[in-house]
Structure 1
Amino acid sequence: MSLKQRGGPLAGVRVLELTKVWAGPETGKQLAFLGAEVIKVESEGSLDVTRFYGVDDINQAPGFQSVNPQKLSCQINMKSPEGMGLLKRLIAECDIVVENLRPGAMKRLGLDYAALKALREDVILVSMGMYGNDGPLANQTGYAPCFVALGGLSGLVGYAGETPQGMNVRYADSTFGTAAAFAALVALNHRKRTGEGQFIDVSAVEAMTSMIGDSFMDYSLNGRIAACDGNAHAEMAPHGVYRCSGNDWIAISAANDAQWGTLAGLLGLGDNARFATLADRKANENALDALITDWTRSQDAKALAEKLQGAGVPAAKSANSVDLIADEHFWGREFYPMTVDGAGNAKPIIGPSWRMTGGAEITDGAPSLGEHNAYVFGEILGIDDAERERLVAEGVTR
């Protein structure tokens, strides 16, 4: 039974989310955006910490709201034996369980994969940890700054000849969460074909490393250690971000000789032999970047980007948060769907990065704590009103 039929390819799939902060909730969010019914379990004594960030009202915290739309919330005290009994009953009604608890926590709670299979034979468990569940480092825990550094990305972000400046930590959690969501989809497809559930062990560090596989392969095959190279690209020149008027910047690249020819004409470099071929441009890249900067420095970034795009040259104004929110392209493609939370507050959210025929409706904001207790305990588990009142009074579902 579903609270609301939203459509989408995962309509009818139920997900139990035992996650906190960002990466785990990101996995649940991606599945919810595909139409799954995602139930987030918390309690007054064990809240998602993002409910505390920025505000006094735990139901209005921006960090929590941004990564938990389209989900349901129920309260179960997992420190209570009766609460654990309820949780196990709920797991038996779910297709997927997603967890990013501390290493070993699921086993200590009696919720490892073998225990979950005893509750539901075809269950899919998605377990998310810094190093995964086995190996010499499996007991270590960490957050996004650890993931992105240990995965190798931070060491590649910076300018040539300088100390690495590091990757924005937000990339780590969202990428890790998306990788886990993709793995869950693969497992669902496997179950559809075979009837078998799966245990998915997702390592944050390995997810980050997969983003720079070319660098690792280059070292494995050629012994070369990748170094910071600013915005340079091995197969494109120019490929950089250039200062414009005010405090704005513009990204410009030329992926082939035709695009370079158009850009060279605008720059007045059409006959300059130093930049005739890609090899020439790479050999003289610093000089080329300096010439482009001289050209862009006095120009309006947005107007120049439109001019270059119109001529067939890849370009875009480097966007800040206000630019992104005001972008007509995003609004025109419904990237910011309007949602309504349980208190009746309407607000836009960042929606899915895809569009599809038959996609899920995105209508609900992030849930208030315990907003869907009656549905979860009453309709899914069949607990009557009197018993639900007792569970609240005794702190089992509070």
Structure 2
Amino acid sequence: MTDQQKRGGPLAGVRVVELTKVWAGPYAGKLLAFLGAEVIRIESEGSLDVTRTYGVKDINKAPGFQAVNPQKLSVQINMKSDEGIALLLELVKESDILIENLRPGAVDRLGLGYEQVKKHCPNIIYTSMGMYGAEGPLSYQTGYAPCFAALGGLSALSGYEGAAPAGVNIRYADSTFGAAAALASVAALNHRSKTGEGQFIDVSAVESMTSMIGDAVMDFSLNGAVRQCDGNRHEDMAPHGVYPCRDGEWICIAVSDDQAWQRFAPALNLAGGAGALAGRFDTFASRKAEESELDDIIANWTASHDASELAATLQGLGIAASKSFSSVDLISDHHLWARGFYADVEDSEGQSRPIVGPSWKMSRGATINKAAPKLGEHNKYVFGELLRLSDEEQERLHTAGVTR
């Protein structure tokens, strides 16, 4: 058993080959690694991931690459060579899952499409990630996270009420797409454990994003209604928004139902911020009907408060509330550290660094202690231990540029 397999977790013993670039594909591999899988990234000097090179001099210390590739292995294989493809197929034979998010048609041109890989490994789980998926009239198109969010419909709904769409954070699309691919891969593993059958999984980024706004899609399909931007409003909650506080800070407040409102309203009244409330907003329907005025009342009240102190007070009343965090707030939040939201990992030089850890807690979770790998850091392990190549053959392949 390898050191990776000794980490434990529900996917201990599962090996994943990653033919991925940038963020969405590597994020899927990251989630599988966090579940205990041994995830091996295929890289080469001649085709470096942009996250290794963007804005840095040292490709092994690039923040973008470090963020999305912890607890993985890196092996160098030149996929532009026939010997490189042959090596890769031998590695796939020793693996359970292959994830790819290369440009449309690239894997087929390389001889690494599903049907070709299946001949070498009949029970492989092959997860293909594309903007529009692997089939259909638009499957030839490629794109990045802003395209996913826009074409999936999210960007059109993200903005202030009565204003033009403002769009969403670009990483939201990549991570949502990546999480969908990881979930599908785990479901396929479960299926294979019962049937012995591998699967081809076709994941569309656009469809993944559209699934996040299913209510809006169904409203149009059934009623012809076209949703508009509505700021921070929520169909089933009122008030539900972000309100100004002292010193340029903001607080998020969500009142879930009439019972929560009965706990919230006295806080407003006691502060003298809403003397005219008396019974006006006791029902969800009444709060929703005059939501703009209610938001103004709350905003006038919160403006004189410290965001953190007010959030703590409201939480004590059972109201969902939180200071709107900056990046500095997030990284210094004691609660997040205490809950294990961040994990300390160590790179190959023994240096410790924090990463965003898994979004779950398990009674028997995987150990997460390794930072993202150096380029080719695990060549010896993959070529020597897994593929059982002699030292002489490894040297020949390196000299020939196949494993660089």
* TM-score above 0.5: yes
Instruction: For 1:290 and 1:92, locate their aligned partners in 2 and report how far apart those are by CA, in whole Å.
Output: 63
In the TM superposition, what is the alpha-carbon distance from 1:148 to its structure 2 partner? 0.4
Give the count of matched residue pairs.
398
Instruction: For 1:168 and 1:45, locate their aligned partners in 2 and report how far apart those are by CA, in whole Å.
Output: 31
In the TM superposition, what is the alpha-carbon distance from 1:276 to its structure 2 partner? 2.0
Q: Which moved more, 1:20-29 or 1:102-111?
A: 102-111
| 1:334 and 2:327 matched | no
Residue matched to 1:297: 303
In the TM superposition, what is the alpha-carbon distance from 1:113 to its structure 2 partner? 1.1
Residue matched to 2:231: 230
1:374-396, Cα deviation, whole Å (9 max, x unpaired)? 00000000001111111111111
| 1:362 and 2:368 matched | yes
Instruction: For 2:287 and 2:294, locate their aligned partners in 1 and report how far apart those are by CA, in whole Å.
Output: 7
Instruction: For 1:385 and 1:396, locate their aligned partners in 2 and report how far apart those are by CA, in whole Å.
Output: 15
Give the AA of the match of 2:48. L
Instruction: For 1:112 and 1:387, locate their aligned partners in 2 and report how far apart those are by CA, in whole Å.
Output: 27
Instruction: For 1:248 and 1:389, locate their aligned partners in 2 and report how far apart those are by CA, in whole Å.
Output: 59
Instruction: For 2:104 and 2:34, locate their aligned partners in 1 and report how far apart those are by CA, in whole Å.
Output: 28
Q: Which moved more, 1:158-167 or 1:208-217?
A: 158-167
3-state SS of 2:193 partner: helix
In the TM superposition, what is the alpha-carbon distance from 1:3 to its structure 2 partner? 3.8
Matching of residues 337-356 of structure 1 within 5 Å: 337-356=343-362
Instruction: For 1:327 and 1:199, locate their aligned partners in 2 and report how far apart those are by CA, in whole Å.
Output: 42
Gaps of 5+ in 2: none
1:293-341, Cα deviation, whole Å (9 max, x unpaired)? 1100011000000000011111000011111111111111122111111
Q: 1:273 aligns with which of 263, 276, 279?
A: 279
TM-score normalised by structure 2 residue count: 0.97
Residue matched to 2:264: 263
Residue matched to 1:322: 328
In the TM superposition, what is the alpha-carbon distance from 1:23 to its structure 2 partner? 0.1
1:260-314, Cα deviation, whole Å (9 max, x unpaired)? 1111101115852331211111111111000101100011000000000011111
3-state SS of 1:45 partner: helix
| 1:208 and 2:219 matched | no
Contact 1:73–1:367 (CA under 8 A) maintained in structure 2? yes
3-state SS of 1:118 partner: helix
Q: Which moved more, 1:382-391 or 1:138-147?
A: 382-391
Residue matched to 2:381: 375
Gaps of 5+ in 1: none
Q: 2:293 aligns with which of 287, 296, 299?
A: 287
3-state SS of 2:57 partner: coil
Q: Which moved more, 1:158-167 or 1:302-311?
A: 158-167
Contact 2:105–2:140 (CA under 8 A) maintained in structure 1? yes
| 1:246 and 2:260 matched | no
Instruction: For 1:187 and 1:236, locate their aligned partners in 2 and report how far apart those are by CA, in whole Å.
Output: 37
Q: Which moved more, 1:333-342 or 1:136-145?
A: 333-342
Residue matched to 1:2: 2
Give the AA of the match of 2:31. Q
| 1:181 and 2:182 matched | yes
3-state SS of 2:288 partner: helix
TM-score normalised by structure 1 residue count: 0.99
Percent sequence identity is 63
Cα distance change, pair 395–3 in 1 and its aligned pair in 2 (3 A): farther
Contact 1:3–1:375 (CA under 8 A) maintained in structure 2? no
Contact 1:231–1:239 (CA under 8 A) maintained in structure 2? yes
Residue matched to 1:153: 154
1:144-191, Cα deviation, whole Å (9 max, x unpaired)? 010000000000001111111111111000000000000000000000
3-state SS of 1:228 partner: coil
Residue matched to 1:103: 104
Contact 2:133–2:139 (CA under 8 A) maintained in structure 1? yes
Contact 1:54–1:62 (CA under 8 A) maintained in structure 2? no
Q: Which moved more, 1:205-214 or 1:109-118?
A: 109-118
1:238-277, Cα deviation, whole Å (9 max, x unpaired)? 0000000011100011111111111110111585233121
Q: Which moved more, 1:69-78 or 1:105-114?
A: 105-114
